[in-house]
Amino acid sequence: MPETAIQVRGLRKSYGAVSAVAGIDLSVCAGEVFALLGPNGAGKTTTVEILEGHRRRDAGEVVVLDADPELGTRGFRSRIGIVLQSTGLQPYLTVDEVIELFRGYYPNPLPLDEIVSLVGLEEKRHERVLRLSGGQQRRLDVAIGLAGNPELLFLDEPTTGFDPSARHVAWNMIRGLQSLGKTVFLTTHYMDEAQALADRVAIIVDGAIVAEGPPGTLGGRADAATRIRFHLPPGSSRPPIQLTAQTDGSVDIVTPDPTQTLYDLTSWALANGVSLLGLEVSKPSLEDVYLSLTRREIS
């Protein structure tokens, strides 16, 4: 396995007058979970399809597992796994039969038992596809993506439509893939998913990467001012601190020095017998950063 799983320089792709990907650079290390985020129409699918070898680029260098995906050699295809948003699976085959069918397409498939256990379908092995729940079918989609024992797995919105507990099961499954040394390239619209899973995130807007880095520091999050929020009880006086906003008794303070501000605030509250109801201290969330970077697209 190369140290760099994906290397992209100056990638461009237009559809007629529409510039879908306008010169992006990307680098994904082997063994990393990398998430590509962006609003609808930003260029994610176009980028991923080029990386998978399913779409030709207009310009730029693309190296995936030491190969040019555009050449689409059999060797390259056997080293990547692709999980699309929905796979039309044979409804009357059982889980085991579907996985076996796809294992048969690859030279060095992952053992059946290992695939079934990785995706958590042990209890459904002999169930027909049509009797699986939506979440179980999605896990079977992932099982198919794993059939050839790929080094690099592309996951397109892996948990769309899942209930919260099914999402957490899927997240654990993706962490399990990473612990096996697989590289995972993920697209998602869920910021909590990117935060929970990704080592690094890139945000694409209008075909250009506008931010890239670990989710905890993206867009200057780590250095951003801290927000302190609470409610004042009715009739309470106001703390002697600069308040950023106050509506319906809710108080917002944005401070670059939370240690001092919290000290001033809680000292005042204790001295005056005031409860700071629902006190919260937070940094901007990944979603806050995402929305500020993509605002033009969404509005």
- What is the C-alpha to C-alpha distance for residues 84 and 66, in angstroms, rounded to an integer? 23
- What is the C-alpha to C-alpha distance for residues 56 and 13, in angstroms, rounded to an integer? 8
Shortest Å distance, C-beta 189 to ligand ATP: 7
The reply to whether 145 sits near ligand ATP by the rule CB under 6 A is no
The reply to whether 45 sits near ligand ATP by the rule CB under 6 A is yes
Stretch that binds ligand ATP, among 26-34, 37-45, 132-140, 142-150 (CB under 6 A): 37-45
Which tokens go with 154?
């592309």
Stretch that binds ligand ATP, among 14-22, 119-127, 234-242, 249-257 (CB under 6 A): 14-22
Shortest Å distance, C-beta 287 to ligand ATP: 16
CB nearer to ligand ATP: pick between 44 and 227: 44
Phi/psi of residue 220, nearest 5 degrees: 75, 20
Which tokens go with 232?
């004042």
User: Hunting for tokens 């929020």 — which residue is that?
Assistant: 229
Shortest Å distance, C-beta 290 to ligand ATP: 13
Stretch that binds ligand ATP, among 12-20, 90-98, 137-145, 170-178 (CB under 6 A): 12-20
The reply to whether 158 sits near ligand ATP by the rule CB under 6 A is no
Shortest Å distance, C-beta 64 to ligand ATP: 17
Residues in binding contact with ligand ATP, number by CB under 6 A: 11
Considering only 28, 32, 35, 43, the residue that binds ligand ATP (CB under 6 A) is: 43
Shortest Å distance, C-beta 119 to ligand ATP: 24
Do residues 30 and 182 lie in contact, with contact meaning Cβ atoms separated by under 8 Å? no
The reply to whether 20 sits near ligand ATP by the rule CB under 6 A is yes
Shortest Å distance, C-beta 298 to ligand ATP: 12
The reply to whether 23 sits near ligand ATP by the rule CB under 6 A is no
CB nearer to ligand ATP: pick between 42 and 186: 42
Considering only 6, 26, 46, 124, the residue that binds ligand ATP (CB under 6 A) is: 46
What is the contact surface with ligand ATP in residues (CB under 6 A)? 15, 18, 20, 38, 40-46
